[in-house]
Homo-oligomer: A and B are copies of this chain.
Amino acid sequence: MSLTSPTPIDTANEQALQRIYTARPYLVAVRPAREFLPQLGADTILHAGPPVAWEAMCGPMQGAILGAVQYEGWAADLQSAQAFVESGRIRLQPCHSLSAVGPMTGVITPSMPLMVVENREHGNRAYCTLNEGLGKVLRFGANDASVLERLRWLQQTVAPALHTALQRLGGIDLRVMMAQALSMGDEMHQRNVAGTALLGQALLPHLVRTVPAPEPLGAIAEYLTGNAQFFLNVAMAAAKVIMDTAVGLSGCTLVTAMARNGTEFGIRLSALGERWFTAPAPMPQGLYFPGFSASDANPDMGDSAIVETLGLGAFAMSASPAVAQFLGVGGWAEARRYTEEMLEITAGRHPHLLLLTFDDLGVPCGIDVRKVVETAIVPWINTGIAHRQAGIGQIGAGVVQAPLECFVQALDAFATAYL
């Protein structure tokens, strides 16, 4: 059987696409990580991207880990947190290893509240942290007292309120909400204005009937409405629960995850299960906030590229001319080119996530590693740019290209396994 013989591979890929297309993600709960993830050891911290040892982690990820150790009460200050980690007493493993995803450093600990997205078609679940908001935040490696206090407020006040509202609602149909947001100019990676507003519309009438006013209801309402990227984490969990339905299909050459830990970029291939194929994390190209430049930037980081893996983000750039401007890649005509290019390397078009200003086509969905290697066209990813030092935060936004090397490795491994 030659690599170009289409039948068994295309059949497997078509099966994967059908699962992706029919998945029905619902936001159903917001609960502490340990509750839905009993496999999460009491001594474990999850991080974004493929596996990475403490010593190889970038500054922001180390900063986030040290904050997380203090948040869990495993150490009382930064210095003892560092000693704790270096003593080898915690296990570090990728979020993806437990059906979870996290933006930027992506750090998840057992006490941290996670949004739970359930796929009502296939029964699997995926998880993502709550968006911390802007400013000094753990996901960019900040770890001072104000950061930890904010995390505890999310845990103790916000998470139970959102959970109760979701129980009243019976869950939120994210496929419908994401299709709506896409039709309203969100590509759901760097722009989540519509998704955030729609989610607030859905939750607030229930929150106001279950949370005492004026406080903490007022602060929760501000939190939900004041950060236009709130929906990113929701879209990430939805994309993860959808793409996980395609993991481990024999003979399938579709990519099921792309993720970065700030040091390495990694992908997973359906047929090869949980194995990662990695290359050095690339540097984003984009626009910097005043006072920052490319020399301040960390290599690309975060599990958020799961939205591109589904066909959103840069793949859906044509839905979002405002994002194209924000990322410095031009206006709508330029935005269309990103989507057109991604059509070259994908096996399908998602039938529910439609691009109304692009011939009503679905977003390019199902990255076929064969097409990437054959064309040398690699996935585009819309990305926030983090400062390379812990805790400074976002310094810009732009686009990044997945390293071709990951795809070449993955196809080689596929050929070894199947041909």
Contacts and interface: CB of A to CB of B under 8 A. Distances in A.
A180 B209 contact: no
Contact of A218 (B209, B214, B221): B209
A314 B56 CA distance: 57
Given A184-B185, A200-B200, A205-B225, A322 B356 contact: yes
A213 B204 CA distance: 12
Given A200-B200, A205-B226, 4 more contacts: A185-B356, A197-B201, A204-B204, A204-B208
Interface string A297-329: 000000000000000000000000110000000
Query: Which A-B residue pairs are the 4 nearest by beta carbons?
Result: A197-B197, A213-B213, A321-B356, A184-B184
Contacts of A185: 183-185, 356
19 contacts: A180-B193, A183-B185, A184-B184, A184-B193, A197-B197, A197-B198, A197-B200, A202-B225, A204-B204, A204-B208, A205-B218, A205-B225, A208-B214, A208-B221, A209-B213, A209-B214, A212-B213, A321-B356, A332-B356
Contact of A356 (B218, B222, B331): B331
A201 B222 CA distance: 9
Contact of A204 (B184, B193, B225, B359): B225
A194 interface: yes
A211 interface: yes
A217 interface: yes
Contacts of A360: 321, 331-332
Nearest to A195: B197
A218 B208 contact: yes
A167 interface: no
Nearest to A223: B205
A357 interface: yes
A322 B218 CA distance: 34
A77 to B, nearest CB: 35
A327 to B, nearest CB: 14
Given A180-B193, A183-B322, A184-B193, A201 B213 contact: no
A138 to B, nearest CB: 24
Interface string A178-203: 00100111000000011011101110
Contacts of A332: 356-357, 359-360
A99 B213 CA distance: 37
Nearest to A180: B193
- Among A201, A211, A213, max chain B CB count under 10 A is at A201
A28 B118 CA distance: 42
A214 B217 CA distance: 11
B214 A204 contact: no
Contacts of A200: 197, 200-201, 204
A359 B332 CA distance: 7
A332 to B, nearest CB: 5
Contacts of A322: 183, 356
A317 to B, nearest CB: 12
- Among A204, A225, A321, A360, max chain B CB count under 10 A is at A204
A244 B28 CA distance: 49
